[in-house]
Amino acid sequence: MKKHNFYAGPSILPQFTLDETIKAIENFAGTGLSLMEISHRSKEFVAVMDEAVALFKELLSIPEGYSVIFLGGGASLQFAMVPFNLMRSKAAYLNTGEWASKALKEARFFGEVVEVASSKDKMFSYIPKGWTVPEDADYFHITTNNTIYGTEIRQDFDCKVPLVADMSSDIFSRPIDVSKYALIYGGAQKNLAPAGVTFVIIRNDILGKVERPIPTMLKYQTHIDKESMFNTPPCVPVFAALQTLKWLKSKGGVAEMEKINIKKAALLYDEIDRNPLFKGTVATEDRSLMNICFVMEEKYIQFEKEFLDLAAARGLVGLKGHRSVGGFRASTYNALPIESVQALVDAMKEFENMKA
């Protein structure tokens, strides 16, 4: 039976990425050695790293003056590295969900943190509007996509202070104006590669402005200077990321991917809004294209498990909502084909015919 993978992360990858990575694990670049056992300083792997950086810059139209580095530690380590490297005394944060809250919490170890707005009052079901960023903040931090609750910021803000964004779960899903950001980071395991590698896009001129000493491993400049090779990088996830970038380019790049993502999301949101058994959980104008969250209507709430069982029988996996929210979550990342979304819609209609 064909599986339709809606897991939120680690999540679905393009078949091309899986196939090419499997080949490289068996025999990397004709060396007769596995990707898992070859030196990261070999000319074959250095070429992988160089090409991955070049494709990052090409696909996102990253301007001059920016570096792309690959690190370990996930986005959670970036919650501390960002303020460690950038905060002199004050930073501003927009609190739109659990990961934004965690980033804000870590920043408080390094100085004053201003929470410019929060949607916690309504269980992070909307993106706050009308907030003001203090002009004396060293940077302003946002989390563009809320994987747990299903909201997304799909615009590039004009900001008078350096703008920092966690784009773990929507990177490469739409074109972005990188020039409006001082730093963009994210864990790769939601839209790019297996868990284990973190990408950072950083404008070089924002570094070197804090007076505190920064441990070598936690200093961005260390990894820029050593081209992500200060220590052994996560070679297999970096190689897999490169394959996904090649796949993205072959599909027409992020502009074409955005068109497909809009179609996929519209297909599912339309069914959620039409089907009397289900309802969405977030403000319509803030709905994510990557993580689509919904629940059963109150009168049908007792049928949640039964629907999940039916979905599993149809090959639909990873639909259970986050443990803190419940209900259902369909993660529709770049690699998920529209046929999988249609299969979910068909299952929802089938369940409606059984229960409504």
The active-site residue out of 138, 170, 190, 219 is 190
* Residue among 312, 314, 264 at smallest CA distance from 291: 264
- Residues 4, 240: Cα–Cα separation, whole Å: 21
175: Cβ contacts below 8 Å, ≥ 6 apart:
60, 61, 254, 255, 258
Indicate which residue of 99, 170, 219, 286 is catalytic: 99
3-state secondary structure of 196: coil
Catalytic residue flag (residue 205) = no
138, 166, 170, 286: the catalytic one is 166
Whether 131 is catalytic is no
Whether the CA torsion 140, 146, 150, 152 is positive or negative: it is positive
- Selection from 319, 262, 268 nearest residue 11 by Cα: 319
Q: Where are the beta strands (DSSP E) in the chain?
A: 4-5, 66-71, 90-95, 112-118, 140-143, 145-146, 151-152, 163-166, 183-187, 198-203, 278-280, 291-296, 316-317, 328-331
Sorted by sequence, the CB contacts under 8 Å of residue 61 that are 6+ apart come out as 175, 178
**Is 138 one of the annotated active-site residues of the chain?**
no
Q: Which residues are catalytic?
A: 99, 166, 190
